[in-house]
Amino acid sequence: MKISTETASTARIVGEEKAIELIAKAGFDAWDFSLFSMCNYSWKEKRVIPTDHPLATGDALAFARKLRKIGEDCGISCNQSHAPFPSSCKEIRERYKLALECTAEAGGSICVIHPDNNKSAEENAEMYLELLPFAKACGVKIATENMWNWNSIKNHATPAACSSHEDFAAHLKAVNDEFFVACLDIGHAEMKGLQTSSTEMIHALSGKLQALHLHDNDLRHDSHQIPFSMDIDFHAVVKALKEIGYGGYFTLEADRYLNDFDSDTVYEGVCNLCASAKRLAEMYETFEIPGK
């Protein structure tokens, strides 16, 4: 089982170029291209703020090619990407074709594009169906992801697009295309208030599950911490993945883990992340299903 991790958390400390080098040096097989810098979104002002990051300029495709070359020189490839969000923002939706192009240029085969949290499967399908012809031309699959909203009074998550296994299945059915697949965020699936679990999700999605976001939490908050540091039962997660014959990457999205690291210590942090991903991969490879 191959392993990868998102680039955003390391890039915040040392930049994308160095991030890929450290991800490779630590022992990952691939890198998950975080495209968030394509848009500097202000959650407070609910708008996109101008930025001079290469992904936000006319240099985006050249930058993606540059990162691909760095990865290849280090012996790793891009397996997937994550488009900017929220998709409720029109300016961000307008960048999704560029996100698909950047994914292709980087060598990735899947681009995770969030659904609009507060829209139905049929409403979100309109956005995905509009993007699919372009995605196919790029040779990149679109993956939707299970989301959540928050009830500050009850202090737990509340339903959003794809947050239950039933609604996730409804989104996949509404689009019904081989280039439209599922990325299961394990941490989101384990948040209190969503009436589901990662194991239920895994079995419901089955063959449409082609990408993962792996991280740990306290079963309430979206902590995005390193696996095996909090309360998610990864033995059950791996067991379910093995039972459906999951064949994609084990991709970490423990992007808050590196918050306490700096440029001098970040490599140690990336190595810790890699060790946790390798532990998950080894669990998968050695797990035996009775009767098989």
pLDDT digits (tens, 9 = 90+) for 167-203: 999 999 999 999 999 999 999 999 999 989 999 999 9
> CA-to-CA distance for 147 and 158, rounded, in angstroms?
10
Q: Which has the closest alpha carbon to 164: 127, 193, 142?
A: 193
Predicted pLDDT at 56: 95
Question: Span 266-291, mean pLDDT?
Answer: 93
Q: How far is CA 75 from CA 23, 26, 94, 223, in A?
A: 11, 12, 33, 31
Q: Which has the closest alpha carbon to 238: 214, 255, 263, 267?
A: 214
Q: Which CATH class is domain 3-286?
A: alpha beta
Chain mean pLDDT for the chain: 97
> CA-to-CA distance for 239 and 22, rounded, in angstroms?
30
Domain ranges of the chain: 3-286
The model scores a pTM over 0.95: yes
Q: For residue 39, how far is the Cα from the chain centroid?
A: 17
Predicted pLDDT at 291: 65
What is the per-residue pLDDT across 83-135, written as a single tens digit (0 to 9) for each? Answer: 999 999 999 999 999 999 999 999 999 999 999 999 999 999 999 999 999 99
Q: Among residues of the chain, what percentage have pLDDT more than 90? A: 96
Q: Which two tokens mark 267?
A: 């490599």
Instruction: Output the CA torsion sign for 228, 233, 236, 240.
Output: negative
> CA-to-CA distance for 12 and 16, rounded, in angstroms?
8
Instruction: Tell me: pLDDT of 292 over 70.
Output: no
What is the per-residue pLDDT across 46-80, written as a single tens digit (0 to 9) for each? Answer: 999 989 999 998 899 999 999 999 999 999 999 99
